[in-house]
Amino acid sequence: MVTNIILFPGQGAQYAGMGKDFHDASPAVRELFELASECSGIDMREVLFTGDASLLKQTAYTQMAVTLANMAAYTILRERGIVPHSTAGFSLGELSAYHAAGIITSESLFTITAARGRIMGEHADRTAQQVGELGMAAVIGLGYDQVDELCAAHPQEHLYIANDNSEKQIVLAGVTASIDAIIPVLKEAGARRVIPLQVSGPFHTPLMAGAAREFEQLLDSHAFSDPTVRVYTNVTGRILSSGSEARRACALQLTSPVRWTGIVKDIVQECTSGEYRCYEAGPGKVLSGFWKAGPARQACIPVGTWESASIQGEQE
């Protein structure tokens, strides 16, 4: 029996027109677009297919767009008979994983995502007014512990590790001036590149505490069921055991680093015996790259287009 692992990307994977091939080919995906538009109050077809490209850079629109693209790819995988035994999502993608694990309904997924994007965007704007320009940057060539030690030895105000992407890539977030100040230290220690990211806030850091409190209150109005398959949380890198634990993790994630390296290691350890297949359900190939950088013996297959999903279906 094949063990299927389905991973969902997060904010940063978006591009104009994503999901259109799924939308045009599948009635079920077209229904998803209707539901997402209804739950968010945003015309998602316009945002993804005909809207101004700048909309996709705004957190409130980005998060809905990525989640919808994730669900479009996931719907096609399900139609091909590919269902998850384990699932995880990177940052925003964790909400998609919750849905795939049976924790939240489609309606809750899109409603929560719309609120998350709005709350995070508004709070990032307010925080920038208080502490200055904010940003995030990927550090290529160094791991979490190395960067953590360097930041402790060269402290900068409002600077945090936001993502543990792989053993040789992390993301810093905080005040842009502090990120700029630590770059020479990182490069001297062996960082090959430091790449600014196109995001609008210092996500997964204590600077988002106000957003987390507001988001936590909103989550109280949604049902969180116990998971039906293994699902991992970014907060600890471990498996969630209950709906109530998922609800807590959903709010904590806004201020906690994304522990993706730990998730990949645990999933691979689960699959030491038997055959497994890993799929990246959503736009881009970011998670497939992180997966390749880890201990996995098989590739993670990007399934972000109708063509790639159809190929996988034929292989099944």
Give me the active site residues, please. Answer: 91, 204
Give the separation between CA 72 and CA 69, rounded to whole angstroms: 5
In a 10 Å sphere around its CB, with 0-12 CB exposed, 13-18 middle and 19+ buried, how is residue 155 labelled?
exposed
Give the separation between CA 55 and CA 62, rounded to whole angstroms: 7
Q: Residue 107: left if φ>0, alpha if ψ -120 to 50, beta else—which one? A: alpha
Give the separation between CA 127 and CA 313, rounded to whole angstroms: 46
Nearest to 181 by CA among 159, 198, 148: 159
In a 10 Å sphere around its CB, with 0-12 CB exposed, 13-18 middle and 19+ buried, how is residue 39 labelled?
buried
In a 10 Å sphere around its CB, with 0-12 CB exposed, 13-18 middle and 19+ buried, how is residue 162 labelled?
buried
